[in-house]
Chain A
Amino acid sequence: MDGSAQPKRLLWQEAVIEAVHVETPTVKSFRLRPDIWTGFTAGQHVDIRLTAPDGYQAQRSYSIGSAPNTSGTIELAIEALPDGEVSPFFHDVADVGDRIELRGPIGGHFIWDQPLGGPILLVAGGSGLVPLMSILRHRAAVAPDIPAVLVVSARRYDDLIWREELLRRADEDANLKVIVTLTREQARPGLRFGRIDMKLMDDALAGGRPALTYICGSTPFVEAAADLVLAAGVPFETVRTERYGGAKG
């Protein structure tokens, strides 16, 4: 399926904001309904385009966090970046009923679907959880027998996006292991404290070697996580990464 996830041409279209949720102190999620939507593959993103009254436009890419399904909506989780241009609009202005422009879905590599199989290892730093959540939700819906491990690193407990859902899935899903580590808050019961390290990775890989690994987050996080995964013996060519680039979200 790699390579076939793209339509022939990506057209700009409008989408209406159907719901807004505060997920963490810095992240809001938005449920969007594009006018024309034919679905996507877990892990893909969309490009968003905002237009000022004088015609000036700004574009940014945002990963889709929802699972691909037939409801015709997508969920984006957008982190507010202090000097940002587009993320402050989403946090301070955007509301239910607003219409924005987008095009997509985009991305033919950092994607997962059932035929790719497993076991899968997902490693998320901060808002890097978003595309991995799409994969996790999709796996739970279509292939819950495929073993999955999710490693999530967040600053604090309250910074964990979709926290209740994650902890619930970890409880209920026998084939899913969730390892949460907090970097700026002392450990809570069942959670780790500190940056990802070899000990954490050994724990993540204790159940066996993943067939596919997906790592998403800031550049330093992805570099560190990828180095750990490779040091643990996971083959280079099975590791897919997505680094969040550019500081002006």
Chain B
Amino acid sequence: MATRGFFGKRPSEGESDRLPPGQYLTEDFPVLSAGPTPRVDMEKWSFTLKDGVRPVARWSWDEFTKLPHVKLTRDIHCVTKWSKFNTAWSGVMIDDILAEAGIAPPTAFTLAHSFDGYTTNVPTADLVDGKAMIATAYEGKPITPDHGGPARLLVPHLYFWKSAKWVNGLQFTKRDEGGFWELRGYNMYGDPWREQRFTGD
């Protein structure tokens, strides 16, 4: 149905091709989190890979910074409707983390964990083959705490709540286990191009 008197501010042609349905382009970088911004103590920072409940590899911050870092520039899409183009990150690809740990992904599902207790689920296939990283820098600078620093998951092809802030580990799970928002009505997969915002979308 057309809304009486609504004409809209549509994006330019080059922009609209890159905007998933229902999204609008923003230049700033909004912050969305379920709680306060945690201040993560670098001395206590660690990143752990788990196969089920069993830890299989763990890095301190010093060890993590020595892993191969690469750059990744991508458009990102938040379920709250904003999208931001050409966000420039650097960090460690999940492929490289698995290689350093000397393992192949043991299961098809992954649950990302964060220092604040946040979790989000992502199919393992969406984390490998160059699709995702643990980002430690944004626009050439350490990621600020409000944007998830010191390290956040970056899965740019899914809605941005999947890119867990303050990440401290990835856990491979046998089943697809819903994370924080997924248990609160948000989509288990979250593909912006199929507008999978909520359960059942």
Contacts and interface: CB of A to CB of B under 8 A. Distances in A.
Contacts of A53: 2, 7
Contacts of A239: 35-36
Given A6-B185, A247-B26, A93 B5 contact: yes
Interface string B134-170: 0000000000001000000000000000000000000
B17 to A, nearest CB: 14
B68 interface: no
A59 B24 CA distance: 8
Contacts of B55: none
A179 interface: no
A156 B171 CA distance: 49
B82 interface: yes
B38 A3 contact: no
Given A59-B81, A248-B26, A229 B3 contact: no
B22 interface: yes
Contact of B3 (A52, A240, A246, A248): A52
Query: B interface, by DSSP: helix, strand, loop or mixed?
Result: loop
Interface in B1-42: 1-10, 21-22, 24, 26-28, 30-38
Contacts of B78: 245-246
A108 B183 contact: yes
A245 B30 contact: yes
11 contacts: A8-B200, A50-B3, A51-B2, A51-B6, A53-B7, A93-B4, A108-B184, A226-B35, A227-B36, A247-B27, A247-B28
